Structure 1
Amino acid sequence: MPNQGKELNQVMKLKLQRIKELEEMGLEPYGRKYDKKNNIIDIMDMFEEEKEVVVKTAGRIMAYRRQGKASFGHVEDTTGKIQYYIRKDEVGEDAYEIYKKMAVGDFIGIEGILFKTHTGEITIRIQNFELLSKNMRPLPEKFHGLTDVETRYRQRYVDLIMNREVKETFLVRSKVINYIRKYLEKRNFLEVETPMLHPVAGGATAKPFITYHNTLDMELYLRIAPELYLKRLVVGGYERVFEINRNFRNEGMSTRHNPEFTMMELYQAYADYNDMMNLTEEMVSNLVKDMFGKESIEYEGVEINFGKAWKRITMIDAVKEYTGVDFNVIKTQEEAKKAAEELGIEIEEKMSYFKILNEIFEERVEKKLIQPTFITEYPKELSPLSKSKKDSDEFVDRFELFMYGREIGNAYSELNDPIEQKKRFMAQLSEREGGDDEAHMMDDDFVQALEYGMPPTGGLGIGIDRLVMLLTNASSIRDVIFFPHMRKK
């Protein structure tokens, strides 16, 4: 687009000329502290018909209409947008000459009196103003806005300027995190911080990012989960801990996956996965009601009800309900493989019986779990950190929470038997040596921690990004992360 580039250069040259002219007038195009007294959202409620109300605010000019000796415009801050009106004979000729050198995108501080125009719009009649920062690069066209998705993600700062609903999405995100933090603190959970650089990658089945520490002369791994460190704190005597943390996984990217993402993880001594189910249902249901004043929200045209009792069903029963395949009857790997192939699912020759069960669940069941649903009783083979189900050597006390076909949370009764934990790690190590680079590494120090004794404990992780996606009707995880990762241009 050579013409567009030429036009951009011309506009920027004009803006640079305006900056030079302001400097020649003895002004700072990039101002200093401004005593902003009123947010725009508050100003809208301050207007009184019979009273002169003086306000002082600041923000970015988003509309600029100069008409001879008087001008209208709009200024916007984080809270909202308001119209202003400025007259040459009221601010003075010198001040108006400065104003004439301003434009859309500039930051301005304004002080004036509120009035209503003949169309009923609350407006600030400017008495004094101050240039706070000159814009040098033009904003996207007024009527076309910033619509290119890739540009929006790469230049989030422009996206936030042009699209107010994007600002609202991230305000909701902040409120969600704040609500969860306060909810847990009220229940005596202690917020903690654990390392981001791990000598051993663990706490989840995932491929880590690898880095290197020069002084220690050793490889380190960016955290894939904080689990093993949080459980060390339970060993140390903290009975309720949580962390709202960044995790990093060197895996594929999609509308639901970003290489770094935010999780809330908590651990509660003397609890189990049933307690975690109850806590999750209560916390998220109350969060929705608190934020929206109702128990249901609409996501991509589908109503999701958080008020009704959430469905709880085992993985085997869910597979049977949604596919007709009954793993209570199917007992061998060969039978499982045949059942999967009849459903049109390709199965690798070496895939185990329980991995086939999980594959069928992921391929044919997950997407049908629209309303909040707890899937319970996962195979032990897939859950190396979970306590075995009582009277079962094949399944564990674990659940995953699904909404709109997406995993939102994961929890279990934590394995606190150091002998069994070491066996599980050894089995994972064998898988890793067999080529599975997502399998857990052997963490001798964690086993040693368990040898000192960890009480029965329930643990829970909730994906903040995916939860916010639901609550803001966002179709991609990139819409709820300020600066998602992108390929190089």
Structure 2
Amino acid sequence: MDELSELLQLRRAKLDAWRAEGTDPFGTSFPDTLSVASVIADFAEEKSVRVAGRLVALRDMGKSIFGHFLDQTGKLQFYANKQSLCGDAADAALLESFRRLDLGDIVGFEGTLFTTRTGEKTVKVTKFVLLSKSLRPLPSAWHGLSDDETRYRQRYLDLIVNEEVRRTFVLRSRIVSEIRRYLEERGFLEVETPMMQAIAGGAAAQPFVTHHKALNLQLYLRIATELYLKRLLVGGFERVFEINRNFRNEGLSRKHNPEFTAIEIYQAYADYEAMASFVEGLVIHLAQTVIGSLRIATGPTPEDGSPRKTIDLTGPWPRKRYRDAVKEAAGADWFDLTPEGRRKRAAEIGVEIGPDLLDHEVTNHVFEKKVEAVTVNPVFITHLPKELVPLAKQNAEDPSVVDVFELLINGQEISPGYSELNDPIVQRSRLEEQVGEEVHNLDEDFLLALEHGMPPAGGIGIGVDRLVMLLTGAESIRDVILFPLLRPK
């Protein structure tokens, strides 16, 4: 019999022992508990407390037992001996029941606070209740849970044993909450738009397909919220945002999960420059308020022990035109070359180009590999080719480009922003060019809405998962999504 099987049998035997003495090991509530954080914040010697959590450390010293329990807010030490549990009765059986507790058990404690000789705040246990018996052992206290595959599949264990992981997801929650507060203080209205749509629009991406039986209707999980939010601009909601789940039936990578969180924000009478300033202010505010610093350490620790890479979010953030960034990366004559010459140059600088890419896609592929991927500190790349952004307004001086930005930080796009296209005639032409022969993919209701008049507006999208990666220094999108999609075992 292997070691795990023996441990499982031992825990089952303890389960039977609890039941034999009349304790339901899964049966009772334990109301009116204090959190660990509040106990520590309001600590006072000899104060009576009622707390609960999961046992994550146990040290039996013979006459006394020390350990730690964990709740959502932190970890706290507890202490028990025969005298504290039984008083003058000195009931040895009660202490033996306490010794029957295992790592992973969820236990309620009543007791008084004191500080040990080493200065650690501790609960001296006078009463305890087994609230939920753990039938499986926790990962090793020494080795933790380091295998990424196991961490992602069994996130509940990851959260129990890895303090840094818990911290990341607490920070994620605080970041999203602070985004809402920041926007609402500036007059933006949070709205909800459909997740299932008859036409998947607002981005160029492969959708997930589903079917509504009652209407016998094929529907798509949304790839973006843009077209519905712009309908609200038409309807007179001048500052709107939605924190949304989007779905794209595409690959998995360090930066991509098929189900992801984004926020889209639209402001009437603004333009892309105003929205660039807005997103800069928002990200700096989040870094200062939630993280407490504008300098973010990220990436793996170098093997030579030198410091991790640092991202400096100090503003103002520079702006650079797309054309200039490509020329710096691929040569000042890039746009003077023939299409075939550009393909040849791409190969010379180490960028692999697929045979089916159009000429503007070749340039953008070089941009992604030689500009976006190597950018560390924030930079706004502006004035992209109109072929890349069909929902943005053309530049008045150069109609080959549109008034947009892409915010690049640490090798990825964090946020695009536009001066939104509100000319229904031009918008129809752009969308027809995008869908080609698949005219059934035209969102005629959106175009109809534009014909009623949409105010000039600025809009931005922010990948919330990538933003959390940035602010917490996480290396993979899977480290900031509680339950990322994984290939079945």
TM-score, reference length from structure 2: 0.93
Once the two structures are TM-superposed, the CA of residue 17 in structure 1 deviates from its matched residue by 1.6
Residue of structure 1 aligned with 2:390, choices 343, 359, 384: 384
Higher deviation after alignment, 94-103 or 161-170: 94-103
Equivalent residue for 2:50, pick from 39, 50, 56: 56
Q: Which amino acid aligns with 1:260?
A: E
Find the counterpart in structure 1 of residue 137 from structure 2.
138
The TM-score, its normalising length taken from structure 1, stands at: 0.93
Aligned to 1:32: 28
Distance across 2 between alignment mates of 1:354 and 1:442: 23
Whether the 8 Å CA contact 1:255–1:475 is kept in 2: the answer is: yes
Cα displacement string for residues 34-59 of structure 1 (whole angstroms, at most 9, x for unaligned residues): 134322123234444xx522222111
Instruction: Specify the alignment match of 1:8 in structure 2.
Output: 4
Q: 1:164 to 1:346 in 2, by over 3 A?
A: closer
- Structure 1 residues 82-481: aligned runs within 5 Å: 82-92=76-86, 93=91, 94-300=93-299, 301-327=308-334, 329-330=336-337, 332-348=338-354, 351-430=357-436, 441-481=441-481
Deviation larger for 221-230 or 346-355: 346-355
Calculate percent identity across the aligned residue pairs. Answer: 49
Q: Which moved more, 1:364-373 or 1:259-268?
A: 364-373
Does the CA-based 8 Å contact 1:313-1:376 persist in structure 2?
Answer: yes
Moved more, 115-124 or 419-428: 115-124
Q: Which moved more, 1:205-214 or 1:424-433?
A: 424-433
Match of 2:17 in 1: 21
Q: Deviations over 1:376-404 (max 9, x none)?
A: 11111111111111133311111111001
Deviation at 1:65, TM superposition (A): 2.2
SS of residue in 2 equivalent to 1:409: strand
Residue 71 of structure 1: aligned partner: 65
Secondary structure, counterpart of 2:328 in structure 1: helix
Unaligned regions of 5+ residues in structure 1, if any? 434-439
State the Cα distance separating 1:312 from its structure 2 match: 0.5
Residue 212 of structure 1 deviates from its aligned partner by: 1.2
Q: Find the aligned partners of 1:352 and 1:10 in 2 and give their Cα distance.
A: 62
- Number of aligned residues: 476
Contact 2:291-2:471 at 8 Å conserved across structures? no
> Residue 58 of structure 1 contacts residue 109 of structure 1 at CA under 8 Å; is this kept in 2?
yes
Counterpart residue number, 1:437? none
* 2-structure distance, mates of 1:73, 1:31: 23
Ranges of 4+ aligned residues in structure 1 off by more than 6 Å:
none
Unaligned regions of 5+ residues in structure 2, if any? 300-307
User: What is the letter of the counterpart of residue 89 of structure 1?
Assistant: Q
SS at match of 1:179: helix
Letter matched to residue 390 of structure 1: A
* 1:265-295 superposed Cα distances (whole Å, 9 cap, x missing partner): 1111111111110101111111111123332
Given that 1:273 and 1:458 are in contact with CA atoms closer than 8 Å, whether structure 2 keeps it comes out as yes
CA distance in 2, matches of 1:349, 1:139: 51
Q: Tell me the residue number matched to 2:305.
A: none
Letter in structure 1 aligned against 2:148: V
Deviates more, 1:32-41 or 1:367-376: 32-41
Answer yes or no: is the 8 Å Cα contact 2:330–2:346 preserved in 1: no
The one-letter amino acid paired with 2:20 is E
